Amino acid sequence: MNSWGEVAAQVAPLEDVALDIALTGEMQRRHRALRGGHAGRINFYTPTFKAYSTSELTGCGKSAWPAVSITGGDCQLQCDHCKAKILEPMIPARTPDELWRVVNGEIERGARGMLLSGGSNRRNEVEYDAFYPTLRRIKQAFPAFRIALHTALVDRDIALRMEACGIDAAMMDVIGSQDTISQVYHLRRGVADFERSLACLTATTLKVVPHIVIGLHYGKLLGEWNALEIVRRHRPAALVLVVVMPFYAPALRPYATPDPHEVGRLLLDARGALPDIPLLLGCARPAGTVKAQIDAYAVMAGLNGIAHPADGMVELAARLGREVRVTPACCSIALGDEVLALDSTESGIAIDVQHVIERERSRRRPHAALSRIPVVVRA
């Protein structure tokens, strides 16, 4: 049997991508021991099999899963990796009446759900209190409309109010380093507050989908393994891993690009810690060779979903014998499957994946045939 490093080298876009042979070897050994319904399946969320342009991503995402902010672009924390800029492209809905109007308008334009977020106060809380009755009204009027709520930090009463208003999923970042909380988030809260919030949310009937931002501490991996252990203790519906993209970091606190091999190690450990929970690599991660390295490790580590994979990942997964599913969609549909904990059969259209793979391979130098590799299309 060929080593997975050798298999990766047979995929044309990965020929010159350096992978850690010891790490890929460990991924290969651990893969044999994986068990459960999520062990072998991988879903790629991709608008095409080749390029992912900004205009392409924006057009799809806004129609299916718009992002709405109850504070517009305002946030009191001003975290170093974000500086509230992530809120600016979101649709503002600063009052409950405005949220009702926004949702009705987006549904008319074909929206299937939304991400509801907002800037935090100085305690890393998004002040949703006035909006809960409107969220209940939205769910009663449009039961099929999915609502994913970025919760920030919560207590038991807030978690219960979120559950009572009928939202579909609660999403929060889990941070495992006190230095990161203090220095990056400028927040006077502790790691225990993040674990307590996750515990309160998972004690409800909500689908809870925490996120771990890899490299959040100025590009270094500092508290990610502790965050992973926190997630393991509380058994959420799914876990999303993203890699920091600090476009708005201040010049005085620059970010380094996270080491892709260290990211790969974390992905492998995440699969080992959560063998029966869906794991998704979200849209955010550095571009270029680093992205190809991270995505290849994600395939080999056994993650269940990759949003906008680097070129060659479909072929790599197929060559490694994984059950490949393709949802031709942009980040909005990946978000939808986060809400549904990656168990939805609603998204995607039937396409001839084998034909697409062969077409892509025909543009490169010939390799061994893929005709016997099982590829499953999500319908």
Burial 37-69 (b: 16+ CB within 10 A, else e): ebbbbbbbbbbebeebeeeebeebbbebbbbbb
Lowest average pLDDT, out of 26-35, 77-86, 111-120, 353-362, goes to 353-362
pLDDT of residue 53 exceeding 50, the answer is: no
Give the pLDDT band of residue 328 (cuts 50, 70, 90).
Answer: low
Q: Indicate the CATH number for domain 4-362.
A: 3.20.20.70
pLDDT tens per residue across span 270-314: 999 999 899 999 988 999 999 999 999 999 999 999 988 999 998
- Are the C-beta atoms of 258 and 293 separated by less than 8 Å? no
Of 344, 285, 345, whose CA–CA distance to 309 is shortest? Answer: 285
Tokens of 173: 């970042």
H helices within 184-310, ranges in order?
191-202, 224-234, 260-273, 289-301
- Are the C-beta atoms of 182 and 149 separated by less than 8 Å? no
Query: Which of helix, strand or coil describes residue 287?
Result: coil
Domain boundaries, the chain: 4-362
DSSP class per residue in 329-373:
--HHHHHHHHHTTT--SSS-----HHHHHHHHHHTS---S--TTS
What's the pLDDT score for residue 207?
A: 94
What's the pLDDT score for residue 359?
A: 57
State the CB neighbour count (10 A cutoff) for residue 141: 12
**DSSP structure class, residue 268:** H
First to last CA, the chain: 33
- Region 30-34: mean pLDDT is 83
Claim: this prediction has a pTM higher than 0.95: no
